[in-house]
Amino acid sequence: MTLQPTSSQTLILGLAAFVSAGPALAGVKLITLPARERVEIQLDNPHATLVEEERVVPLARGVNDVVFKWANTNIDKSSIQFRCLTDPGQIKVLSVSYPPGENALTWQVFTPRAGSARVRISYIIGQLDKSFAYRAIAANDEKTLTLWQYLQLHNNSNEEFGEAGMWAGFGERLERPIGINETKRLLMSRFDDVRIQKTYTADFARYGYLDAGKRQLRIPMHYLIRNDATGGLGRFPLMPGKVRIFQDDGQGTVAFLGEDWAPFTPRDDEMSLYLGVVKDVVVKRTISDRKQTRRFGPVYEYEVLIKYEIENFKDKPVVLDIAESLSALRNEILGNTGRNVEWELGPGGTLMEIDQEKSTADRPVFHVVLPPRGDDQKAAKVQHTLNVVIKNEW
């Protein structure tokens, strides 16, 4: 498709041809802007947008002045490059000059013969950038979802590009018309049957209380998505962007669950999407016992017993993740000493199996299976304890 020029960018050929066999042509002949034949926009760099455009220009035999002007467009003057694609071994750029105080430059181009030549002009342009957005629809059973990834192109550069190719550094190349000062939302990828794991997490240090008077913890829900082939993804990293999350209600429509901001997720890493706070899984956390023992001099250790009273009001079993920040626990009982915490699991607690993959040196994670509520609609009640020994405090 032929692309038409805009008023904000001008390309002029000043033809000053010098022929060794005859006299030079007098004066400078101005030629109207050749139409763009092709435009490619590179969006892979987060800090700069590269535009490459190709035009077919007439060149006279000898030396030609090719003048490139732009107005009201944020082009990095130092980034502008000119290449001749037609017979580059013979057609050469001799020099480039910049008129003072103008958004313009002039290339001196030599060709041994007259004729049309395809040239490529590239430059870095400002106010032409991108962002990403996602739409996720979970299946009714919440075991899989369909994920749509969108590229949002924001063209505030005061330049119209017409039909242009775009590449974000991954995925498919896109081609769409780009108008002046417009935002486009373009579907980049769709992933079907993406595996999800719905999680419920009790983590006092991270999420706090839902009801402090009752010592009831806030229990957020998340969908965990693994960006790998097994999970139905893994073709490329997932860029950060807003995710709108829905669920198939089993009746031909979808219910809106919420929005979250997806972080950059490399391949073989996990993305966690926040769904809200669950109200039908109740967790009360209390420090039921604390013992202080002197080891030597002013050095003590503290044995702390944490009790979790859990109720599941759901009709189905739930896996609850229980996490404790040990530095936050030490601060809770002793205050912030400014030192790294040293700890180990003590005897007698029911939480002993640490999830090594999800845990860190400061934050062990345990999994608890909660049975569904009974036929009498009463909540299933479970109690667990975590016994921790905090060492070498003074």
pLDDT in tens, 185-231: 999 999 999 999 999 999 999 999 999 999 999 999 999 999 999 99
The domain segmentation of the chain, as residue ranges, is 9-125, 127-196+221-277, 281-393
Q: Which residues contact 201 (CB under 8 A, 6 or more apart)?
A: 207, 219, 220, 222, 320, 321, 322, 323
| Residue position matching structure tokens 């996490």 | 323
Residue 368 CA to residue 320 CA, distance in Å, equals: 5
Six-digit token pair at 143?
């075991």
pLDDT at 25: 33
How is residue 335 annotated by DSSP? -
At the top level of CATH, the class of 281-393 is mainly beta
Q: Three-state DSSP class for 16?
A: strand
CA dihedral sign, ordered 195, 198, 202, 208: positive
Six-digit token pair at 281?
């899984």
Q: Which residues contact 231 (CB under 8 A, 6 or more apart)?
A: 194, 195, 225
Low-confidence ranges of the chain (pLDDT < 50): 1-7, 17-32
| Residue position matching structure tokens 């993305």 | 271
pLDDT at 238: 97
Q: What is the pTM of this model?
A: 0.84
